[in-house]
């Protein structure tokens, strides 16, 4: 905020009068003061009264002018102080005292000029804290601020004196370091040391805050002529790549990342538009009793055939939907459709639905699911929720509460992808699961692989010991099926029994088996031949 100054015209007039008063004072003083001294000594008459009054008036004017000059000087100093503070606020992040997004480009230009003189280049490093939102949500924003300040301090200590450090917003930092064009290893080591420093816990009140950091790096050209914003954007793309490949790591920018980022942006836009437009539809994979060959139920799988991007696989769009915060809306729209479809099936057939770990963090998930069941008038006993083994590591207490709540409503809960995570026997015993599903990676390679066969046998024995039914995923050949049948009696699913189909084709097949309550629409010839080939 600017300091408020007085009226410029008035101040100029006051100063003019003051200078005039000083000049007049000098003239009058030469006439009045000697006479006054002589009168005091008794050697002369007193000064002229009018001149003496004029001299006193001049003194008053001079004092008034001096005071106004002093006030004006103080106002100017306050203005300079305020402007300096405003510039500091404009250039610096108030929390961490790092440069901000607005000022980093200007400082880069100055640093680039110095680098050119030294025949050096600039390394742009983008840094982002992993799962920072979770720290905020769990411990509060004060804890998040403490973590950001600690991260900025740790980064600053490791940087050379001439390097730049900026906080671009949220939990994202940027570092610009002068270096020789062939010093990729030096920059990489510096970045690794920053990542290691950030991984150290930060003490806050009575807890330790822990996080990690992902980094992206790009080098400017030899003449440092590129726009700093372009280089920061490329470093950001590399950092995002490091996050996607596991976090707590670094990645160098490659041109292919730019096209990947554009595709991701298009997918994000497509997800936001496609959910309300009904582009995401459920497909159903048969679950079979391996002993009798009868259909026991179906697992619902999400499918997306975008009108602009074509067919996008679930392993691509589901993680993106989770990061966008759209997974709850997407999942509920699919479950709503699946419940309507399953109402038409024989009541003995069950419907299994996979749940994202993100949804399990929502304490109201069970209530949301109950609302969907009530809306569809679907029996809870026919619904089975599948929870992946990785969910057990995030918050076992919350998972236990949700599983208990679902079971109280009559919904069954199974542990999916068993064998790929780190769940302990004590967790399996304490969490009231209704079923264990063996991960497809063990089943697909069962034949001829003694290790996989041993794992599958062990899981089946574990399920029998805990009284939990078993479902084997990934049955894709008769040889695998024959091997599984030697292990015992349980259920299975996989492409051997057909690929997942949409609601119409599933209903048509169930109608042929007399497992449909309502008549199914006739399949078009092309659809019928496709189903026979599957």
pLDDT at 62 over 70: no
Residue 81 is predicted with a pLDDT of 66
Q: What is the DSSP string of 99-114?
A: B-HHHHHHHHHHHHHH
For residues 87 and 154, membership in a common domain is answered with no
Residue 308 pLDDT grade (very low, low, confident, very high; cuts 50, 70, 90):
very high
Query: What is the bridge-based pairing of β-strands 470-472 and 435-438?
Result: parallel
Domain-embedded: residue 203: yes
515 and 490: one domain?
Answer: yes
Asked whether residue 2 is domain-assigned, the answer is: no
Per-residue tokens: 270: 């497509």
Place of tokens 């969490």: 431
Residue 515 lies in a domain: yes
Asked if residue 521 is part of any domain, the answer here is yes
For residues 529 and 482, membership in a common domain is answered with yes
CA distance 131 to 243: 10
Domain that holds residue 417: 278-533
Confidence (pLDDT) at 46: 53
- Residue 264 within any structural domain of the chain: no
Contact 373, 383 (CB under 8 A): yes
Q: Are residues 313 and 365 in the same domain?
A: yes
Closest CA to 511 of 339, 281, 346, 292: 346
pTM over 0.85: no
Closest CA to 202 of 144, 126, 127: 144
Least Cα distance to 414 among 463, 377, 373 occurs for 463
Q: CATH number of the domain that 142 lies in? A: 3.30.70.270
Residue that is last in its domain, among 61, 91, 121: 91
Residue 282 counted as domain residue: yes
Assigned domain for 483 exists: yes
Which has more pLDDT, 221 or 338? 338
Q: What mean pLDDT is reported for the chain?
A: 84
- 142 and 226 in a single domain? The answer is yes
Q: Which two tokens stand for residue 313?
A: 């696989």
Q: What is the β-pairing status of strands 491-492 and 280-289?
A: antiparallel
Q: What is the pLDDT of residues 200-241, one digit of tens each?
A: 999 998 889 999 999 999 999 877 888 888 999 999 999 989
Give the largest CA-CA distance in the chain.
143
Residue 41 has pLDDT above 70, yes or no: no
286 & 212 share domain: no
- Same domain flag for 17 and 114: no
Q: Within the chain, how many helices (H) and strands (E) appear?
A: 19, 16
Neighbours of 357 (CB within 10 A): 17
pLDDT grade for 182, boundaries at 50, 70 and 90: confident
What is the tens place of the pLDDT at every residue in 258-299? 888 889 899 999 999 999 999 999 999 999 999 899 999 999
Q: How many domains does the chain have?
A: 3
The percentage of residues in the chain with a pLDDT greater than 70, rounded to a whole number, is 80
Query: Please, which pLDDT band fits residue 4 given cuts at 50, 70 and 90?
Result: very low
Do 283 and 421 belong to one domain? yes
Domain boundary among 36, 64, 91: 91
Return the bridge partners of 123, or none: 177, 219
Whether 398 and 448 map to the same domain: the answer is yes
**Domain contains 132:** yes
Query: Sorting pLDDT into bands at 50, 70 and 90, what band is 84?
Result: low
Three-state SS for 229?
A: helix
Q: How far is CA 339 from CA 228, 265, 330, 379, in A?
A: 53, 31, 14, 10
Q: With 0-12 CB in 10 A as exposed, 13-18 as middle and 19+ as buried, what is 256?
A: exposed
User: Does residue 5 surpass a pLDDT of 60?
Assistant: no
- Clarify whether residues 447 and 481 are in a common domain: yes
pLDDT for 169 equals 85
Measure the CA–CA gap between 63 and 44, rounded to whole angstroms: 30
pLDDT per position as a tens digit, 471-527: 999 999 999 999 999 888 889 999 999 999 999 999 999 999 999 986 655 555 444
Q: What is the pLDDT of residue 197?
A: 96
Q: Binning pLDDT at 50, 70 and 90, where does residue 55 land?
A: low
Token pair for 471:
């479902």
Domain limit, last residue, from 73, 91, 109 = 91
Query: Based on the domain organization, do 301 and 230 belong to the same domain?
Result: no
Residues 231 and 105 in one domain: yes
Per DSSP, helices labelled H in 184-312 are 184-198, 228-244, 255-277
DSSP 325: T
Query: CATH number for the domain including 388?
Result: 3.20.20.450
Lowest-pLDDT range of 2-6, 132-136, 164-168, 445-449: 2-6
For 93-99, which contacts have Cβ atoms below 8 Å and span 24 or more sequence positions? 93/166, 93/167, 95/145, 95/148, 95/149, 95/167, 96/148, 96/149, 96/152, 96/167, 97/152, 98/152, 98/156, 98/165, 98/166, 98/167, 98/173, 99/164, 99/165, 99/166, 99/167
């Amino acid at each position: 905020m600017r300091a408020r100054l007085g009226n410029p015209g008035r101040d100029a007039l006051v100063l003019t009068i003051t200078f005039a008063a000083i000049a007049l004072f000098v003239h009058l003083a030469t006439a009045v003061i000697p006479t006054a001294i002589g009168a005091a000594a008794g050697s002369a008459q007193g000064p002229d009264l009018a001149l003496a009054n004029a001299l006193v008036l001049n003194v008053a004017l001079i004092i008034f002018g001096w005071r106004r000059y002093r006030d004006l000087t103080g106002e100017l100093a306050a203005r300079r102080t305020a402007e300096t503070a405003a510039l500091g606020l404009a250039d610096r992040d108030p929390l961490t005292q790092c440069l901000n997004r607005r000022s980093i480009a200007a400082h880069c230009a100055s640093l680039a000029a110095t680098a050119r003189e030294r025949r050096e280049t600039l390394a742009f490093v983008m840094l982002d804290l992993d799962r920072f939102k979770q720290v905020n949500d769990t411990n509060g924003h004060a804890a998040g601020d403490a973590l950001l300040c600690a991260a900025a301090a740790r980064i600053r200590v490791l940087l050379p004196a001439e390097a730049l450090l900026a906080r671009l917003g949220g939990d994202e930092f940027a570092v610009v370091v002068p270096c020789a064009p062939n010093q990729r290893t030096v920059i990489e080591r510096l970045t690794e040391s920053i990542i290691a420093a950030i991984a150290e816990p930060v003490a806050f009140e009575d807890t330790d805050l822990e996080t990690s950091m992902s980094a992206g790096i790009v080098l400017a050209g030899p003449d440092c002529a590129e726009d700093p914003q372009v280089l920061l954007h490329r470093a950001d793309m590399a950092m995002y790549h490091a996050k996607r490949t596991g976090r707590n790591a670094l990645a160098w920018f490659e041109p292919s990342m730019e096209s990947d980022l554009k595709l991701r942006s298009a997918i994000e836009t497509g997800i936001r538009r496609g959910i309300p437009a009904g582009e995401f539809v459920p497909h159903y994979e048969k679950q079979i009793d391996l002993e009798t060959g009868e259909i026991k139920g179906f697992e619902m799988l999400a499918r997306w055939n975008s009108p602009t991007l074509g067919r996008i696989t679930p392993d691509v769009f589901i993680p993106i939907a989770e990061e966008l915060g759209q997974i709850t809306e997407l999942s509920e729209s699919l479950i709503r459709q699946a419940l309507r479809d399953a109402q038409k099936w024989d009541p003995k057939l069950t419907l299994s639905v996979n749940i994202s770990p993100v949804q399990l963090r929502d304490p109201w998930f069970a209530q949301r699911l109950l609302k969907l069941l009530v809306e569809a008038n679907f029996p809870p006993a026919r619904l089975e929720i599948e929870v992946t083994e990785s969910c057990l590591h995030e918050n076992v207490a919350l998972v236990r509460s949700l599983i208990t709540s679902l079971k109280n409503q009559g919904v069954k809960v199974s542990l999916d992808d068993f064998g790929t995570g780190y769940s302990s026997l004590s967790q399996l015993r304490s969490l009231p699961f209704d079923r264990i599903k063996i991960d497809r990676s063990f089943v697909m390679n069962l034949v001829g692989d003694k290790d996989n066969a041993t794992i599958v046998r062990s899981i089946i024995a574990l399920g029998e010991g805990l009284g939990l039914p078993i479902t084997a995923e990934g049955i894709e050949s008769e040889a695998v099926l024959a091997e599984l049948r030697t292990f015992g009696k349980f259920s299975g699913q996989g492409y051997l029994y057909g690929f997942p189909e949409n609601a119409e084709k599933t209903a048509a097949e169930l109608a042929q088996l007399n497992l449909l309550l309502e008549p199914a629409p006739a399949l078009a010839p092309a659809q019928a031949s496709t189903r026979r080939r599957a």
